Structure 1
């Protein structure tokens, strides 16, 4: 009975990685590529907030290639990636995946901060914070900070042999230090699952509060002291939807790491059946995370009229190009 259950869990994981992950990969890559094209257009590039979205799109593409593609090939299609059995591959891949995840989150946080200050009534603050120079500085600091803060993964992660219920040895990329696993669970819970959504929710509420205040002031004075442009409003709406989705799609990730932190015992190893359950749940949680980083383009398309118009222009340009060729 237990063997049958384990086999079903293994096949379910394979099906997820063979069918759901490719769809997630394709839609995510296509969406982020279009983001990359649109946010480099003149109308968008002049806004500092667009630099964060542009950087996040580049980062997300790298994330999909280093994290999701390798997962799909190895776990879904059982493709033996050259060098994938080495400890260096294990350490570098996990390190890159976690680092890139963090970078995307913090880009979105700083985009939220940018939109918050864009609705501030102080022209001096708007000019200082909502500038390309500030955006470039924060983007660089984010990348450097995330690279440094994840160094511990390279130190503690390695390939370990895991004996399943079939008495078959398989390699898993993890840490054999139980105390570190508890630390990593807490680190992931705070740094990935709780802090970014909470910060974005807080900044989002403050931004909406600024917008309400400015509108009330405009209505009462009949002379706008703060002009909130339509483009900025659409970016605020986009961020609001994106933050909401981030909270929904990362919540399972939070619960998973809470569970890992509570159930990890530094003196014992979990039974194989429990490990299989955890592996299956982790696959689902990962897919939800990757969906979160693949959906910004579709959010922009559904919320921002300006973004849709720019997308239509690009499609028209592509059509004209091919007509010219043929």
Structure 2
């Protein structure tokens, strides 16, 4: 009896610490998830309304931003609603197998579509900044739509194995709805880390630097003494100048968004690589709790990346995007007053 009581007393501090930590983590997840849901859903809805206007949707980069916003909207709905509901009751995706599989498939597919569409947008900005007229002609709405279809089909096929790999009611995993075998876990984590996060980010940064280089070369050419003779021979109308302003603001919006995507998504990729490497290492209960909480917070950061695009566009998109936003607000007011 004495040995039993001493054993309980020796484990009580750790148990209390873990319980307190989990309780605090549950509150942080709940309130931060609500904030991200409201913040992100409203932002993506406004993005969709603004970018679907005729003055912007004919631009290939704006078209890619529009479909990316739709994908981010699906990410927030599929990912955060279950987190918020789980604070009050059991998360059905943790207990029901087909819901677990469907949620994982929709979440990862939508996030991959969004990442690769932003990569296509960075490629489009690079093509437009090239001095070669042949490359500039490759930037078109038709090619943007074709690329969107290819990315959607690619993402659906890529994550179809999740219907086999994911299962509910798991233990000793970061989440109850998770990959059921080690092989599935390695596959899912490597695909998500490499295909959804790292590869598109590398290409985004590559095209971003190439675009900046092209812009600098263009400025150098504009400063040459031959420009006045050439520019006087060309009649730039107002519409063409407006399109160039749109292109310039879209480039700024894109570069800022890429920076925040890297900031908010790379930590999860690093954590998943670490988790895969140390999966066979013996860890204490406190260490497992801390790693699970870090992983949970990093997941929330990825939702922040999915909900921030509208606010980036509003702050960095110049008067073009803000004017389109105010037009949407004015039309909404007129619709409400008419009713």
Contact 2:94 2:168 in 1 (8 A): no
Aligned counterpart, 1:297: 310
1:16 shift after superposition: 2.1
Superposed CA offset, 1:27-46 (max 9, x none): 10011001100111111011
1:161/1:317 Cα in 2 relative to 1: closer, same or farther (>3 Å)? Answer: closer
1:243/1:84 Cα in 2 relative to 1: closer, same or farther (>3 Å)? Answer: same
1:163/1:210 Cα in 2 relative to 1: closer, same or farther (>3 Å)? Answer: closer
The structure with the largest alpha-carbon Rg is 2
TM-score norm. by structure 1 comes to 0.89
Aligned counterpart, 2:300: 287
Aligned counterpart, 1:148: 157
Aligned counterpart, 1:15: 27
Superposed CA offset, 1:24-71 (max 9, x none): 011100110011001111110110111111101111111111111122
Aligned counterpart, 1:185: 189
Contact 1:116 1:203 in 2 (8 A): yes
Alpha-carbon separation, structure 2, partners of 1:264 and 1:151: 24
Contact 1:44 1:50 in 2 (8 A): yes
Instruction: Confirm or deny that 1:254 pairs with 2:265.
Output: no
1:291 shift after superposition: 0.6
Query: How many matched pairs?
Result: 315
Aligned counterpart, 1:37: 49
Aligned counterpart, 1:47: 59
Aligned counterpart, 1:320: 334
Q: Secondary structure at the match of 1:77?
A: coil
Instruction: Confirm or deny that 1:198 pairs with 2:202.
Output: yes
1:54/1:161 Cα in 2 relative to 1: closer, same or farther (>3 Å)? Answer: closer
| 1:94-243 correspondence runs (5 A) | 94-127=104-137, 129-162=138-171, 172-220=176-224, 221-222=226-227, 223=230, 229-243=244-258
Alpha-carbon separation, structure 1, partners of 2:205 and 2:21: 36
Q: Secondary structure at the match of 2:111?
A: helix
Q: Secondary structure at the match of 2:95?
A: coil
Contact 1:91 1:153 in 2 (8 A): yes
1:156/1:320 Cα in 2 relative to 1: closer, same or farther (>3 Å)? Answer: closer
1:251 shift after superposition: 2.3
Alpha-carbon separation, structure 1, partners of 2:335 and 2:161: 49
Aligned partner of 2:325 among 311, 315, 324: 311
Alpha-carbon separation, structure 2, partners of 1:8 and 1:235: 46
TM-score norm. by structure 2 comes to 0.86
Superposed CA offset, 1:244-272 (max 9, x none): 1111111211221121122112xx77554
Alpha-carbon separation, structure 2, partners of 1:10 and 1:62: 28
Alpha-carbon separation, structure 1, partners of 2:247 and 2:292: 42
Aligned counterpart, 1:274: 287
1:11/1:31 Cα in 2 relative to 1: closer, same or farther (>3 Å)? Answer: same
Q: Secondary structure at the match of 1:162?
A: coil
Q: Which runs of 5+ in 2 are unaligned?
A: 1-12
1:193 shift after superposition: 3.1
Q: Which runs of 5+ in 1 are unaligned?
A: 165-170
